[in-house]
Structures are given as structure tokens and as C-alpha cells.
């Protein structure tokens, strides 16, 4: 992480999420007994790994490897150059029809994947595409995907604990089940507010990192403008979970803004050009 503001935010939010994590562990020990601590610990460690593996597979299952020859030669050369500058291992490059111009990164540093839509390749000029790719490589360099998976895993665990606590204190019938699920979702959403706030800030950091490595923020700003305009009136073919990873994900309305994974595109463009 190259941004001091991100480090501070991660320290604050990380402490809050760690407290929730410990709460889940304490509930597990209270429920199954202290003698079951190895199984509780195993569950706390395994769930994020499983979610990470499933998420990576789900995000890339429709994508195809990007050939290193033909029309994709320039993209591979661009990635090679950026990776040398960033000091990271070259990620696997893939291409996919998404219905809209977009791109996303998944995986971790040293074992990442960058997926670019065919629509994006046709839409952008070379320097604009370089800005988008630099943004995605910054996400891998900063371990953003891993951080998001850990955060969402903790939110899921907290939701499960809230459900179990409610069900243990009342009658078990259809009404209790429905109320328990509502409480579980509310608890999960409250934790996700912290996770998504960091997600939005991470987009700014990735934009700034991209600007530093390509030497200017204007190409990425132009790319975001074209992507936003190109997505209007078109239906995205990627899942909602994958949309959270994409460079562009438009959310409208107050509630959607609160739980948005990305900051407003207009603000990102202004910061890139400031």
C-alpha cells in the first residue's frame, strides 16, 4: 500500500473487523466448548480461503486466456512494462465478453488475474487502455481483492452469529426463521458498511497509483468517461459479485450509494485531472 491515508483507514477498519472476528471466535467457543478450539480456529481460517477460491473461479469461469500474439501483443507488452515498474509478477491475462466495456482484477500478489472485456479493447485508445490496466495491476499490488474477501467473510460470519443468537433465545418456527434471517442480513450489512467504505477509497488509491505509473491521470480519466458512456443503455453480463471487482460499477440512489463498491465516476475523473 503506497497511500498513507489507506494505511490509516485500513488500521481503523481492520481493528474493527478484527474485533468482529474475535467475537465470532468467542461465540464458537461458547457454543461448542473450549475443547473445540482447534475446530473453531480451523473454521475461522478455512471459510475465507474457500470464499476466495470460489470467488476467483466464479469471476473467471467465462473468460478465455489472452493470446500473446496477434491483436493482443500490445496489451502484453504494456503489462510487462507496468509490472516491471511496479515490481510485481505478471498476472495471467484473460479476455471476456461482458456486454459493456469493463475490466477487473482478481487473485493475489504473485498469483493475480486481469480480465479485460472485448468491448473495452474495441472502445479505448492505447494510452487509455494502459491507464485501465495500470489501475487493475495496482489492485493486485495493494492486495485489494484479498482484503475484500476477508472483510466479506467476517461480515458473513457475524451474520451467522446474529442468526444463531436469536434462534437460541426463542421458539423455532417459520416466523422465527424469517425474523432470524432478517437480523442476520442486517448484522451482515452493518459490517459491510465498513468494508465497502474501504473499497471505495481503494479505488481512489488505484487511480492515483495508475496515474503515477503511466505519468498522467488524463488517459485513465478519458477511459472512465468512455466506459461510463459506453455502459449506458447496455446490460452487463457479469455477476453482481464480479461487478464489485470491475473498474466501473455504477450505483444510483442513497441506499445503493451507501453500499456502493466504487465512488462516483465523476469524482474519480475530477481527482485524476486535478
Catalytic residues: 136
Q: Which residue has the cell 452487463?
A: 236
The count of C-alpha atoms lying within 13 angstroms of the C-alpha of 98, restricted to the half-sphere facing its C-beta, is: 32
Strands 103-108 and 64-65: unpaired
Element of type H or E holding 93: strand 92-96
SS3 assignment for the chain:
CCCHHHHHHHHHHHHHHHHHHHHHHHHHHHHHCHHHHHHHHHHHHHHHHHHHHHHHHHHHCCCEECCCCHHHHHHHHHHHHHHHHHCCCCCEEEEECCCCCCEEEEEECCEEEEEEEHHHHHHCCHHHHHHHHHHHHHHHHCCHHHHHHHHHHHHHHHHHHHHHHHHHCCCCCHHHHHHHHHHHHHHHHHHHHHHHHHHHHHHHHHHHHHHHHHCCCHHHHHHHHHHHHHHCCCCCCCCHHHHCCECCCCCCCHHHHHCCCCCCHHHHHHHHHC
Amino acid at each position: 500500500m503506497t497511500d498513507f491515508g489507506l494505511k490509516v483507514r485500513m488500521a481503523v477498519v481492520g481493528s474493527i473487523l478484527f474485533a468482529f472476528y474475535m467475537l465470532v471466535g468467542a461465540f464458537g467457543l461458547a457454543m461448542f466448548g473450549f475443547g473445540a478450539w482447534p475446530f473453531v480456529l480451523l473454521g475461522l481460517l478455512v471459510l475465507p480461503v474457500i470464499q476466495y477460491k470460489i470467488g476467483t473461479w466464479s469471476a473467471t469461469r467465462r473468460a478465455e486466456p489472452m493470446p500473446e500474439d496477434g491483436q493482443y501483443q500490445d496489451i502484453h507488452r504494456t503489462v510487462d512494462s507496468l509490472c516491471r515498474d511496479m515490481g510485481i509478477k505478471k498476472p495471467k491475462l484473460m479476455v471476456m465478453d461482458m456486454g459493456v466495456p469493463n475490466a477487473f482484477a482478481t487473485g493475489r500478489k504473485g498469483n493475480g488475474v486481469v480480465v479485460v472485456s472485448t468491448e473495452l479493447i474495441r472502445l479505448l485508445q492505447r494510452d487509455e487502455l494502459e491507464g485501465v490496466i495500470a489501475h487493475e495491476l495496482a489492485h493486485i499490488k495493494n492486495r485489494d481483492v484479498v482484503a475484500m474477501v476477508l472483510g466479506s467473510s467476517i461480515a458473513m460470519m457475524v451474520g451467522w452469529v446474529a442468526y444463531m443468537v436469536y434462534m437460541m433465545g426463542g421458539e423455532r418456527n417459520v416466523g422465527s426463521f424469517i425474523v432470524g434471517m432478517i437480523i442476520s442480513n442486517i448484522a451482515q450489512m452493518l459490517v459491510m458498511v465498513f468494508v465497502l467504505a474501504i473499497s471505495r477509497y481503494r479505488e481512489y488509491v488505484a487511480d492515483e497509483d495508475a496515474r503515477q505509473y503511466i505519468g498522467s491521470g488524463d488517459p485513465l480519466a478519458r477511459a472512465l468517461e468512455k466506459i461510463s458512456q459506453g455502459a449506458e443503455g447496455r446490460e452487463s453480463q457479469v455477476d453482481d459479485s464480479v461487478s464489485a471487482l470491475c473498474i466501473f460499477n455504477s450505483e444510483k440512489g442513497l441506499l445503493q450509494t451507501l453500499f456502493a463498491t466504487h465512488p462516483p465516476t465523476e469524482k474519480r475523473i475530477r481527482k485524476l485531472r486535478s
